[in-house]
Amino acid sequence: MKQLKSKFNTIHFPSIKTRVETLKQVLILLFSTTLFAFSPSKVVFEKCIDGIEESSTLRAIQQIQISGNVKGPEGMPMPGVSILLKGSLKGTQTDFDGNFTIAANKGDVLVFSYLGMKTLEKVVADSTTLNIVMTEDVSSLDEVVVVGYGTVKKSDLTGSVSSLKGNKVQDQATFSVEGILAGRVAGVKVIDGGQPGAGGSIQIRGSNSMLGGTEPLYVVDGIPIEPNVDAQGQGIGGSQNSAINFIDPSSIKSMEILKDASATAIYGARGANGVVLITTKQGNKYKRELTFRYSINASQVSNKLDLLDGPEFANFVNLSTANLSYLKQSYWGYQQQLLDAGTITQLPSSSPWGTANNPNENSYRWEFDGVNKPLPNASDLPNTDWQDEVFQTAFTNNYNLGYSGGSDKGTFSVGMNYLDQEGVLMGSDYQRINMNMNLNQTITPKLKATTRINFTKGNANALMTNNGNTDQNLMSKIANFAPTNGLNAGSDGLGEFDFNDPNFLDTPIDIATKYLDEKEQINMLGSIGLNYKLAKGLTFDATGAITYNLNNRDTYWPQSTFRGATTNGNATSAKNQFFKTLTQFQLSYYKKFNKKHEITVVAVSSQENFNYRQDYVNVSNFPNDILGFHNLQAGLNFSVPTNNFTETKLRSYLGRVNYTLFDKYLFTASFRADGSSRFAESNKWAYFPSGAFAWKMSKEPFIEALHVFSDLKLRLSYGKTGGEAIQPYQSLATLVTKNYSFNGNIASGYIENNLENPNLKWETTDQFDMGLDMAFANNRIKLTFDAYYKKTKDLLMIVENPPSSGFATKIANIGAVENKGVEVELSAVILNGDLKWNVAGNLAFNRNKVLEMGVNNFQYGSYTTNGGGQPIIFKEGQPLGAFIGFKKVKIFETWEEVQNSAQPGASVGDMMFKDIDNNKVLNNNDTMIIGDPNPDAIWGITNEFSYKSFDLSFLIDGQLGGDIYSIADMDLGSNYRRWNSSTSSAINSWVPAAGVPGASWESQDGSTFSTEGYNYGFGNSDAYTARPMYNVLASAERKRVSDEYIKDGSFIKLRNVSLGYNFNSKKIKSFGIQRMRFYLSATNLVTITKFDGYDPEVTAFTGNASRRGLDFGTYPISRTVTLGLDLTF
């Protein structure tokens, strides 16, 4: 008991627990428990004896006892709420269950206040019971947000930081952390992966690097997370793992997105692409909770392609052969005209269209039921919709169990999640079990300890998607496989007609169900931390952490598939293992003095050690398929097993100073030094400074006098960040093993793998940011504006070596790229009564340009099409990773146009491309920029409504620009006779203006089949797509990379809709339930776009600038409906 001596003897003060902020409120609470009162304006003590005040005016006090309960916005009891009698000195606070009792007079006003909640006033009436529901304070300026190596009040931020609370998106039907951010943060482009367990991809403020990827750095509870590399499969397909797909989204308390360099420079070498800070849920020392969440989800492919059905495909195939007859006739007719005119002296001796003496030779035939005739358009012709056969309604069950609480000695939070997810393509699924634990313990008044453990095990059955291989990519196969094939056509060899290939061929169902691609992923993230208070305002933190990732992957092509039949079964087994240790020491100092100055200083030293192992083996020639990859030793043919071990280290020293003057002028300066073992001796260290200034203009008298702004703050910042976009040992001369023949035997030796590269150094990004934060109408309307410019130099590129070196290429620091843009975030509280309506929106523009590319001025991306084209280029003056190709002019209508063009090998009905230099030769000099995968703008709008126990929210987001190059459409839209086509491509395919001539075939029984007068139902003489084509091998013009396959990736999406109901707490409390909520939500309900693929958010290689924007036939994004239940005990 603390005591205060006065003329009224000794006042005894009991111990109290409170979360009120000011000394005034604390004193009022202290005196409210005594017979004395405290006036905040002056010290006055009035002693009460037997209800009679010792004052000049004596009056009787007739008070009533008011009791009640206080709950939060989610219906949970709120302990520690301050309750004060307005205009007097009396008060109390709620207990652990949110209950309170206070004596008051009728007509008195009770004031309820709690940090982060809106203060409420209630007039005492006749009722002695008063139940209160607190709501969050509209003003979040005092909200604490996480920044690198510390926290800061939102009002004191000097950098560009966006924050998202986990409870705002708890109903969203996404199973990846990345999906939570979609459409909600300005300048952040998110693509949520379609394949189960694949995770998503994030890009912040454009792309900075060619080799370093576009993904930001993720930091979970203070621990940096490294990219999680998928184990090698069959060399064609499978999805990459997200770096953070081991995290259960429901365990997230908040996410902070650091965007400008003043915020990200504290992470130095890994901050160039932005930083995402993830804070997981902690316990509350005032209450214990047991929570259970369950949701069931039903998903379907959100869009189907419009393809030809069986009869339409039969007509289309027949039209391609009729076109062939026209080409033969018209070609020799044109040659005869040239001969008659004297242009040529004799007819060609040979051509693709036969010979002069027999123009009908080499006439193409195909067999159908042993009869030489075209496909019949008959009612009994197989008509298989392969999309319907492979797509399925997928069900997902998601379970979450959590327990949290605490006391004055510490807090705890433990949770467990089990996810069982089916894929919308048959044969794909994912199961994940996650366990997490957060412990905070006060050991002594000066010493605290923290423990964080996160363990995840995931298993997936993956599919062949995202690889662009028509025969082995499931999505391409679904679209291209002939609908005239029945379900048992292909590899089962049951004799049904297979027009795609006269040889052994897999159906889409074969690829979906027979090919095995099993993945196992194990992740563990653990840390232990100690916090010791050295002196007033000075603390020391020591942290040790480990990260462990294991990726196992086993694949098998059985002998009942085409690939398996040619190899007698083909299996692979691969393992990637990653282990990292982190040791970190931090000193933090805080002091406020003279009521004018406030300073925070942070100094950190850290050491990270990385160990990586990779193993791979490929086996074939199995006696049978019984055990598949479970018995590799049964295979007779082994490739040479490979393994790879790497070890790297990163040492860092950093410091930051935050200084505030008069609570109006804020200064931040930071400096980080990173040393990486990846670089050469002379370039191992790099230095990353940053500085920022913010001015709280709203606290200036001349701004206050305007009575316009609730808040007005100007921010200016500059910083330098970096990237280490190279693999280990690339700066060193290395050797690799090589087998060779010696004296008739196989011997093993070593050869040079690459030359020493002592000049390799860090990529560095300089970024400038100017921001303005505004609030109006008592913070009900908030507006944030940011403009930025960032330039990345010493760009790491693959360049050619001189031929004399003996090595074709090397990595060098040559290029430079810039990003500049504008971001706007707006939020408003429209209604705040019984009906509440909050709205938030964001809009971001970014422009990207390559500034330098060295001597050659350009470099192609890493992807090459089946026809040898390279659709992506890095070129000075152009956007990073722009699309390059030929410009289509029209369709060749006559042989004279072909002869006078730069494409002498083309045919009538092929595409004519622009001959830019007019030299009658079509080559790379005639290519041009035909598209840009970087979006011009991204935006999102969120609306949240609540009325009594109901709540409703929906998110609409979109993208303007962002072109897509459709590798899949190079097959689907090219009108090759062997593959199915899209309906639009078939309808708009070219046919001669005079019509297609008839053709006839003689059957084996002597009857004749004729197409004279036949109505094919397709073709257009004013077409914009090429003619239906018989022979795939003669399709060189269609394999050219051109703007024909550039698609507009703009879209508007109804991303998420959620409707929830919170049950009345009185009715459920008797069952021991504090809170119960049902909700119904839906994701990807509506997409408005011109893109004619499955979804404009192409999920393949989103983090790779050299292959970004390519549609390989990716795993489709699904439309999902969720029904969920939340229980709190």
What does the alpha-carbon distance between residue 544 and residue 580 come to, in Å, rounded to a whole number?
A: 11
DSSP designation for 354: B
pLDDT of residue 1035: 61
Q: What is the pLDDT at residue 38?
A: 45
Tell me if 183 sits within 8 A of 957, measured CB to CB.
Answer: yes
The size of the chain, in residues, is: 1129
Instruction: Provide mean pLDDT across the span 269-284.
Output: 90
Report the share of the chain in percent with pLDDT over 90. 46
Specify the residue for token string 């199961």: 431
User: Has residue 494 got a pLDDT over 50?
Assistant: no
- Choose between 518 and 34: higher pLDDT: 518
Single pTM value for the model: 0.85
Q: How confident is the model at residue 1011 (pLDDT cuts 50, 70, 90)?
A: low
- Per DSSP, 29 falls in state H
Question: How far is the C-alpha of 449 from the C-alpha of 280, rounded, in Å?
Answer: 17
Are the C-beta atoms of 657 and 671 separated by less than 8 Å? Answer: no
CB atoms within 10 A of CB 625: 18
- Would you say residue 84 has pLDDT above 50? yes
Mean pLDDT, rounded, for 872-890: 94
1017 band by pLDDT with thresholds 50, 70 and 90: confident
Query: Lowest-confidence range among 394-408, 429-443, 624-638, 1011-1025?
Result: 1011-1025
Identify how many contiguous H helices and E strands the chain contains and give both numbers. Answer: 13, 58
Asked whether the predicted pLDDT for residue 988 surpasses 90, the reply is no
Domains of the chain: 2-133 (2.60.40.10)
CB 528 within 8 A of CB 575: no
Give the gyration radius of the chain's Cα atoms.
Answer: 35
780-820 per-position pLDDT tens digit:
999 999 999 999 999 888 887 787 777 878 888 888 999 99
CA distance 364 to 360: 9
Question: Given pLDDT bands bounded at 50, 70 and 90, which one contains residue 977?
Answer: low
Lowest mean pLDDT among 203-207, 221-225, 851-855, 995-999: 995-999
Is the pLDDT assigned to residue 757 strictly greater than 50? yes
CA 671 to chain CA centroid, nearest Å: 30
Compute the average pLDDT of residues 610-619.
94
**Per-residue pLDDT tens over the stretch 105-146:** 888 899 998 876 788 899 988 888 888 988 876 455 567 888
Q: Mean of the pLDDT values across residues 836-852? A: 95
pLDDT category, 408, cuts 50, 70, 90? Answer: confident
Whether the pLDDT of residue 1030 is over 80: the answer is no
Please give the average per-residue pLDDT across 212-226, as a whole number: 89
Average pLDDT over residues 705-722: 94
Query: Among residues of the chain, what percentage have pLDDT more than 70?
Result: 85
- pLDDT score for 236: 45
Structure tokens at 811: 């990595």
pLDDT at 51: 39
Mean pLDDT of all residues in the chain? 84
User: How far is Cα 877 from Cα 932, in angstroms, rounded to an integer?
Assistant: 13
Q: What is the pLDDT of residue 587?
A: 97
Q: Write down the pLDDT at residue 905.
A: 84
Span 162-202, pLDDT tens digits = 988 887 777 777 788 888 888 999 999 988 777 888 878 88
Average of per-residue pLDDT across 950-977: 85
Greater model confidence, 1054 or 320: 1054
pLDDT of residue 495: 33
Cβ atoms 64, 103 nearer than 8 A: yes
The owner of tokens 């269609």 is 1038
Please report which confidence band the pLDDT of residue 884 belongs to, taking 50, 70 and 90 as the band edges: very high
Read off φ and ψ for residue 693, nearest 5 degrees.
Answer: -135, 140
3-class DSSP state of 168: helix
- Determine contact, residues 577/612, Cβ cutoff 8 Å: yes
Distance, CA of 53 to CA of 58 (rounded, Å): 6
Lowest model confidence (mean pLDDT) among 394-398, 439-443, 534-538, 811-815: 811-815
**Most confidently modeled of 594-603, 972-981, 1007-1016?**
594-603
Residue given tokens 């060609």 in the structure block: 348
Pairwise CA distance, residues 272 & 260, whole Å = 9
Mean pLDDT of 889-896: 91
Residue 397 scores a pLDDT above 60 = yes
Residue 497 pLDDT more than 50?
A: no
- Burial letters for 206-235: b for 16+ Cβ neighbours within 10 Å, e otherwise? bbbbbbbbbbbbbbbbbbbbbebebbbbbe
Let me know: does 887 contact 922? Beta carbons within 8 Å.
no
